[in-house]
Amino acid sequence: MMFPAHTILHLTAMAFLLGLPARLQAAGLSVSVIDSAGKPVADAVVYAIPEAGGATPARGATAVLDQIDKEFVPFVLPVQVGAAVSFPNRDKYRHHVYSFSPPKVFDLKLYSGVPEKPIVFDKPGMVVLGCNIHDDMVGFVYVVETPWFAKTSSKGGATLELPPGEYEVRVWHPWQRGDIARERVKVDAGDTRASVRVDLAPPASARR
């Protein structure tokens, strides 16, 4: 029996999709982050660690963290280990960006515009940013070892696209008290939802 060419192509595509291993088919994980009062938490970093391992570094990945109106924008920037971050100064005055955090110590001396080279974040953990000229400028780069991460919106939600499997979902926020929040989740082929509660204590001097 003969089939039209377009039918053969359709059958071939379907056979290919059906033959894909489950681990290659992305599934959606929607995470809601709330505080101890049940209110949504913005700027929380949500990331998933596969129980079976297998996460790889983000070689060649890039990101941008601006300085606008004497603020770091975004306030929190999640990246994967190996990512290169540029720090453009969009203000009319110069900034001096630095970090003394163990995962990445660096010093971008007084400058305007865009520094010649980005900063490569090669170790996981929290990196606190400051400016030697404007003491109230504070920002954060949070470096993770997994390619599956996102940041919560103003409504406290974040969505990850990842292969079906079992994961430990972790949540970090700069004002979080205690250890990183952790929740074990099994992700199926369809959409999966999870809720994580964190205990926050913003410093009195926080601008946000």
CATH number (domain holding residue 202): 2.60.40.1120
User: Does residue 183 contact residue 44 with C-beta atoms inside 8 Å?
Assistant: no
Residue 7 maps to a domain: no
pLDDT score recorded for residue 26? 78
Q: What is the pLDDT of residues 43-73, one digit of tens each?
A: 999 999 999 877 676 677 999 999 999 999 9
Whole-angstrom CA distances from 143 to 93, 183, 199 are: 29, 19, 21
Q: How many domains does the chain have?
A: 2
pTM given for the model: 0.85
169 vs 203: CA distance, rounded Å = 26
Which H or E run contains 48? Answer: strand 45-50
pLDDT band for position 158 (cuts 50, 70, 90): very high
98 vs 113: CA distance, rounded Å = 16
115 vs 139: CA distance, rounded Å = 18
Domain that holds residue 162: 23-55+147-208
165 and 191 both lie in a single domain:
yes
Residue 10 maps to a domain: no
Which H or E run contains 83? Answer: strand 83-86
Here the tokens at position 57 are 């570094």
135 and 110 both lie in a single domain:
yes
pLDDT of residue 137 exceeding 50: yes
108 and 168 both lie in a single domain:
no
89 vs 67: CA distance, rounded Å = 5
Residue with tokens 């630095």: 98
Q: What is the CATH number of the domain that holds 128?
A: 2.60.40.420
pLDDT score recorded for residue 5? 42
**Percent of the chain residues past pLDDT 90, beyond the cut:** 75
Torsion of CA 122, 123, 124, 130, to 10 degrees: -80
pLDDT score recorded for residue 58? 65
